[in-house]
Amino acid sequence: MIDLDIAIARGDFQLEIEASLDNGISAIFGPSGSGKSTILACIAGLMRPDSGSIILDGESLFDSTTNVHISPENRSVGLVFQDGALFPHLDVRGNIEFGARYGSPGDCKVSPDQLMRLLDIFDLAPRNIADLSGGERQRVALARSFAAGPRGLLLDEPVASLDARLRTTVLGYLKEIHRELGIPMVYVSHNISEIVHIADQVVVLDRGKVVAEGPPRTVLLSQVIGQPADFEDVENYLSGTLVDRGGGNKSARVKVGDHEFVTPSAEHIASDEVIVTLRASDVIVATELPRAISARNVISSRCIDVTHSERRSFATFDVGEPLVVELTSSAIDELALAVGTSVHLVFKTTSLTLTPRGVLRS
């Protein structure tokens, strides 16, 4: 648990935040300049607040009233940036073993070799950093941070520089490694889809102040703020298992919950465990079973939530895990959508994309 009570003044910029970040994956959301990265810098000890306190697992890391300021190297907090900030003169193994040496003896419960296997980069151990893809670099950066045995991990837009396929894969690894190692994470982003997919809790900032906090799906879909968020495509990331890879002109089939989705061919994907990506705006909702239509996916479901912001409306449906659909408010009214309403969700095969899920290996 990280308890924050921070106040910072730098010229015209004022940051005031009071929040408790739980032991799951907590997210900090807001437009550029709202103070997201500043909060991470304060938790890591790279920036000293003007006033307030920062407490991690009951230990005071900073307290302006008692003049406590623990140095960054003694906080046992990992920090991962957009570019990974890897050491170019060390190979993959060298970077990760550096993290293990940096941590206190006995802090890390997992060896560098185990971490490389968990993140599926063991075969990359002798590789030069310059020869890695963006997704591989981020997995090495994560392994190096975990090797130090941190009590918490801070992630500053760690997938912002990656393409959609790599972004989805790295997010999958983050979720899995949290389940495996149980280390609290604070994830900073201005991307709604990432936060809804990965986080258990979100704190929303606007111009240096907390304006909302709570479950990501409820908070972000009902209180969309800032110009980027107003027009951003909301995507669903659904965990699935390949039933039939397809190939050539033959579609693949993926099991998501109790349903089978018809998807583009998956012959190029080595793993059976995948993430199915589907934009919220690509789903049609019908209260009666459609007949004689070209769309290959017609999924029976039940509405579990309806949310409205000033400009946008969303409904969430249960397909074994929550699926968010963007609708007009008039469509929600005309369909009489409410919690418990039974519907059929319709979407095209071409609306779906598949990426490896990034299941951790022991």
CB 93 within 8 A of CB 147: no
Residue 153 banded pLDDT, cuts 50, 70, 90? confident
The span from the CA of 362 to the CA of 360, in Å, is 7
Q: What's the token pair of residue 145? A: 């941070």
Place of tokens 């490896």: 356
- Give the pLDDT confidence score for residue 104 in this predicted structure: 54
- Give the pLDDT confidence score for residue 107 in this predicted structure: 56
pLDDT digits (tens, 9 = 90+) for 88-128: 899 999 999 888 876 655 555 678 888 888 778 889 999 99
Scored b (16 or more CB within 10 A) or e, 40-54 reads bbbbbbebebeebbb
**2-231: CATH number:** 3.40.50.300
- Give the pLDDT confidence score for residue 101 in this predicted structure: 78
Average pLDDT, the chain: 86
Residue 327 banded pLDDT, cuts 50, 70, 90? very high
- Contact partners, residue 138, CB within 8 Å, separation at least 6: 80, 84, 158, 159, 162, 166, 170
For domain 236-355, the question of CATH label 2.40.50.100 is answered with yes
CB 216 within 8 A of CB 226: no
The span from the CA of 216 to the CA of 199, in Å, is 7
End-to-end CA gap in the chain: 27
Mean pLDDT of 55-79: 90
pLDDT over 60 at 192, yes or no:
yes
pLDDT digits (tens, 9 = 90+) for 196-232: 889 999 999 888 888 888 998 888 887 655 444 455 7
Mean pLDDT of 148-163: 83
Place of tokens 């004022």: 14
How many angstroms separate the Cα of 274 from the Cα of each of 270, 271, 317, 341? 10, 7, 20, 29
Within the chain, how many helices (H) and strands (E) appear? Answer: 9, 21
- Give the pLDDT confidence score for residue 57 in this predicted structure: 83
- Give the pLDDT confidence score for residue 227 in this predicted structure: 43
CA 144 to chain centre: 19
- Where are the chain's structural domains? 2-231, 236-355
Task: Tell which residue, 200, 194, 197, 261, has the closest CA to residue 228.
Answer: 194
- Give the pLDDT confidence score for residue 84 in this predicted structure: 66
pLDDT digits (tens, 9 = 90+) for 122-146: 899 999 999 988 888 888 888 888 8
Q: Which range scores top for mean pLDDT: 178-182, 205-209, 282-286, 309-313?
A: 282-286
Task: Tell which residue, 52, 50, 51, 102, has the closest CA to residue 75.
Answer: 102
User: By percentage, how much of the chain surpasses pLDDT 70?
Assistant: 93
- Give the pLDDT confidence score for residue 109 in this predicted structure: 64
pLDDT digits (tens, 9 = 90+) for 239-276: 999 999 998 889 999 999 999 999 999 988 888 889 99
CB 281 within 8 A of CB 333: no
DSSP states along 59-112 = EEEEETTTTEE--GGGS-EEEE-TTTT--TTSBHHHHHHHHHHHSPTT--SS-H
CB 349 within 8 A of CB 297: yes
Mean pLDDT of 57-67: 91
Higher pLDDT, 184 or 304: 304
